[in-house]
Structure 1
Amino acid sequence: MSAPPICPRCDQDQIQRYRFKDDGVVFSLCTECDSFWWPQTATDVANALFLDDVVAARLGEVENPWTNRIWADVIEPASGTG
């Protein structure tokens, strides 16, 4: 098994699989710079989104989605998911 790729945006951390707790949708995330990729997109800089923007959109919020919640309320590691 090969190591997860290094984030192309920050070159600081590995890209890991996470999932949204509410519906189990899996995505890739760099926890160093919060770069986010949907599974159907290549994990490159051009396709990178920011976790805050995706979570805010999913929750229907315009401002910072972390004002009244923490990551563990919304996402979790997706270890062992297909």
Structure 2
Amino acid sequence: MREKKACTHCGQDWVKEYKRADTGQVFHMCPECESVWLDKNCIDDATELYLSEFMGSGDSVRDWESITLIE
């Protein structure tokens, strides 16, 4: 079982592990505010970026269709 960690940015949801469909890159994200962290050991405000910046598409719907939740 994975340890749950609350989002340090919004505090509204758990940070979850995802994978990009295009590159296979694994990352961590809060599904509530879309804050992204590349290193699960560095989940804090200083390392955040947003899903739209991380994916680079500028299309929120496409971004969500291009990632998979790892359970």
> TM-score with structure 2 length normalisation?
0.84
Q: What displacement does 1:17 show? A: 0.1
- The residue correspondences of 1:1-82 to structure 2 (distance < 5 A) are 1-39=1-39, 42-56=42-56, 65-66=58-59, 69=62, 71-72=64-65, 74-79=66-71
Output the CA distance in 2 between the equivalents of 1:23 and 1:35.
19
Aligned partners of 1:41 and 1:47 also within 8 Å: no
The Cα RMSD (Å) is: 2.1
Output the CA distance in 2 between the equivalents of 1:68 and 1:44.
26
5+ residue gaps, structure 1, are: 60-64
> TM-score with structure 1 length normalisation?
0.74
Aligned partners of 2:52 and 2:60 also within 8 Å: no
5+ residue gaps, structure 2, are: none
Q: Which has the higher helix share?
A: 2
- Among the aligned pairs, what percent are the same residue? 31
